[in-house]
Chains A and B, each alone.
Chain A
Amino acid sequence: MTGWSRRNAPGVAGAVIVAAMAVLAVVGPPIWGDEAVRIDAAAILQGASPGHPLGTDNLGRDLLARVLVAGRYSLLLALAATAIGAVAGIVLGTLPSVLPRRAARLATGTVNALVAFPGLLLAMFTAVVTGLGARGAVLGIGAAIAPGFARLTQTLAATVANADYVSAARMLGVPRRRILTRHVLPNIAEPLILNLTQALGGALLGLAGMSFLGLGVQPPDFDWGRLLFDGFPRIYVTPEVALGPAAAVALAGIGFNLLGDALARAAARTSVVRERTPAPPVADGAGEPDPGAVLEVRDLTVTFPGGVTPVRQLSLTVAPGEIVGLVGESGSGKSLTAAAIGGLVPYPGTVTYAALRLGGRDVATLSDKELGTALAMVFQDPLAALNPALKVGGQLAEVAIVHEGADRAEARRRAVDRLGHVHLPEPERRARQHPHELSGGMRQRAVIAMGLMGTPRLIVADEPTTALDVTVQRQILRLLREVVEETGAATLFISHDIAVVGELCDRVVVMYAGRVVEELPAGRLADGAAHPYTKALIASLPDLDTDRSTPLAGIAGTQPAPGQIGLGCAFAPRCPLATARCESERPELVAHGPGQRVACWEVK
């Protein structure tokens, strides 16, 4: 809770300041209006005194009252300027998406030229052309704001214009203008509105600047900038007469900017702060380490705030040289299981377990270095696992340098050797290339080679072939098998594709809604699967022998979300065999034939 309020403190401050300014704009003139214009010949050009905390001006008017009253006018002018700028900018920015090609290019060119032009110069130029006074200043600041809005609108509109739903609307013959108002604008409104708050702060400062230069509000009207302009010549004698309005301008500008920043951050929602999860309390019953297992997971649970538990008391073991497949659909918790094993569960998830051992030792007691060499992780997107700015060879060498203290030349030689080992053609040359110069299959080979830089005891591969073509997938699966046979590493292979798992793995663990529902030797998948979910998964998969004349089997309904799992079997609502007992009581995993365990009341 404290972390939350600390991160949001600027936003709260901004909201408080903006709210105070709004109140001031409403109540200021009725309360202090008379005092602000009352001429007092006896008290002209005074400094601060108990009667006049900010002094008086050349007609003896109280400056504090004038600053408080000027708030409404200053804010209204800023609002008007922002509105003009935003409307002009958005219209200019959307023109390229509705005009024919040639006119669109002209509109884009105009925006580019305007953006390159200094804002204040544009404002002053417009103000001088349209005449001195508040109107000129507002138009000027509006003109200065417009190009930024135009550019933002144009960029946002261009990204949305390539969206599939816009293509679909075009194919349905929806007119361009309707595409703009229905599909494009509503989807870019949020960032535009956020930008508005910040533009308001900028307009306030800009208008004060214009008034201060004498280009803005003219007497007898006054805004903060005008008060600053009037007080400035006296700044060396009685500084408070200039500092009062200056402070008001600064405070309002800061308030709007802070609020705008906070809103933008909240909308982006990207602040995923990764903290190393503290070592979980070891529950009772951890028991002795299983000597035959490289990876031993007992009662692993991953919880997120709000009672969301995507992984529930999961247990599994992987022996040396064994490939265990973890299958499940999206949302079953299989990837979070992999993340928990590697200590990569994102904040604010918490991981608890009775035992999570790698080579007989609790992973919480392993140093980063030990974990780094003993565990190799391969992810779905090899491009995300490789740094695009660094050469492939250098990234591999880094592993040996950081984890094993190898010298640069030695590490490099090893990197080239490992790349050759995963059958990457011309490893010398590939090592000198950047990741984007490699094909998807080559990148995945490079990531596997990276895992082989150390001597991994465990390989965790999370959907490593999902992004690859079938022919490349076949090669990568063969490579994984080869690597496992050679290094004797235990491997946890995570996939949604039960056919791939069946082909590669020795043993298969099937997950549903965060729990293991069945565990069986891969050879028994085709004919020996017992859990109705496993059976349905296999039946719904078309292969090259599927009967084309009958409908494919599917599974009606959807997997429950991690926050909505009831007391009973999570699969019961979709299960053809479900009884009243399944709804209320959860079945435990029990032995069912050699090497097989099933969690189902109806399997006898």
Chain B
Amino acid sequence: MIIKNLSVRFGAFTAVDDVTLEIPDGGVVGLVGESGSGKSSLARAVCGLVPHTGSVEGARRVQMVFQDPYASLNPRMTVGRTIAEGAGPKEVERLLGLVRLPAELAGRYPRELSGGQRQRVAIARALGGNPGLLVADEITSSLDVSVQGAVLNLVRGLRDELGLTMLFISHNLAVVRYVADVVAVMHHGRLVEVGPTEQVVGEPAHEYTRALLAAVPRLRG
């Protein structure tokens, strides 16, 4: 699928400025940028949640997983009903299995789950919509590191198992590098660099990408 000349404007402010980005079938494109760079607006436009100009071609059904697993599940609905909303009640068990959660969890309410479990439920709900494209918007940034690893592994596993096409958004280059095949760097509403992950991380062409890379905290230096 391809995003063509997409722009999002809020009044006089242009959040996304003429972005064209191809997401190959079965591939994971990582979108990095800082807060205010327009990456979340781009995600919401691709999902049809904000008005935009330009087009999104070739995406059958788009589903999204949100940043905050505490706000993205209806607190009054059980896990089972939440997942069944898109997929139907017969699929609940299979989808819970896909995100490596026990089937007993179907009867629980979100408040009884940990942050990592909630995020898995949100992923299961999105998968239930049988997405042609899955948009993951900062899905690990409100999780603890020990849980983040497991969710990232799950994302990679799902891609391999289901051939999922994904737009994976994060401000953390190390996280994006781990899951994405292609990295797109966004700055002030524009894409400043797009390329295969190892190339963007190894030989960044744009000055802003270099600044982002230099700022990643690391233990071994």
Contacts and interface: CB of A to CB of B under 8 A. Distances in A.
Contact of A499 (B34, B144, B171, B217): B217
Contacts of B86: 172-174
Contacts of A542: 149, 152, 174-175, 177-178
B212 A554 contact: no
B74 interface: yes
Contact of B64 (A168, A330, A555): A168
Contacts of B201: 544
Given A329-B144, A536-B146, A551 B219 contact: no
Contacts of B148: 540, 554
Contacts of B49: 167, 170-171
Given A470-B171, A496-B145, A554 B153 contact: yes
Of B73, B175, B217, the most chain A CB neighbours within 10 A belong to B217
A286 interface: no
A168 B125 contact: yes
B145 A498 contact: yes
A555 B146 contact: yes
A554 B152 CA distance: 10
B149 A497 contact: no
A537 B146 contact: yes
Contacts of A182: 74, 77, 85
Contacts of A497: 145, 217
Contacts of B129: 171-173
A543 B74 contact: no
Contacts of A170: 49
Interface string B183-221: 000000000000001000100000000011111111111
B26 interface: no
A338 interface: no
A581 B122 CA distance: 39
A168 B48 CA distance: 11
Interface in B168-184: 171-175, 177-178
> Interface size bucket, B side?
35 or more
Nearest to B179: A548
A544 B174 contact: yes
Contacts of A171: 47-49, 62-64, 129
B79 interface: no
A471 B125 contact: no
A538 interface: yes
A402 interface: no
Interface string B105-135: 0000000001010000010011011000000
Contacts of A498: 145, 219
A526 B219 contact: yes
Contacts of B34: 469-472
Interface in B74-97: 74-77, 82, 85-86
A486 B66 CA distance: 43
B35 interface: yes
Given A165-B74, A496-B144, A172 B128 contact: yes
11 contacts: A171-B49, A183-B77, A187-B76, A469-B35, A471-B34, A503-B218, A537-B145, A540-B146, A541-B145, A541-B149, A543-B174
A-B pairs, 7 with minimum CB distance: A172-B86, A554-B149, A469-B34, A164-B72, A554-B150, A552-B149, A555-B146
Given A171-B47, A499-B219, 13 more contacts: A164-B66, A168-B126, A171-B64, A172-B85, A174-B85, A174-B86, A329-B146, A470-B171, A473-B215, A474-B215, A499-B218, A541-B174, A541-B219
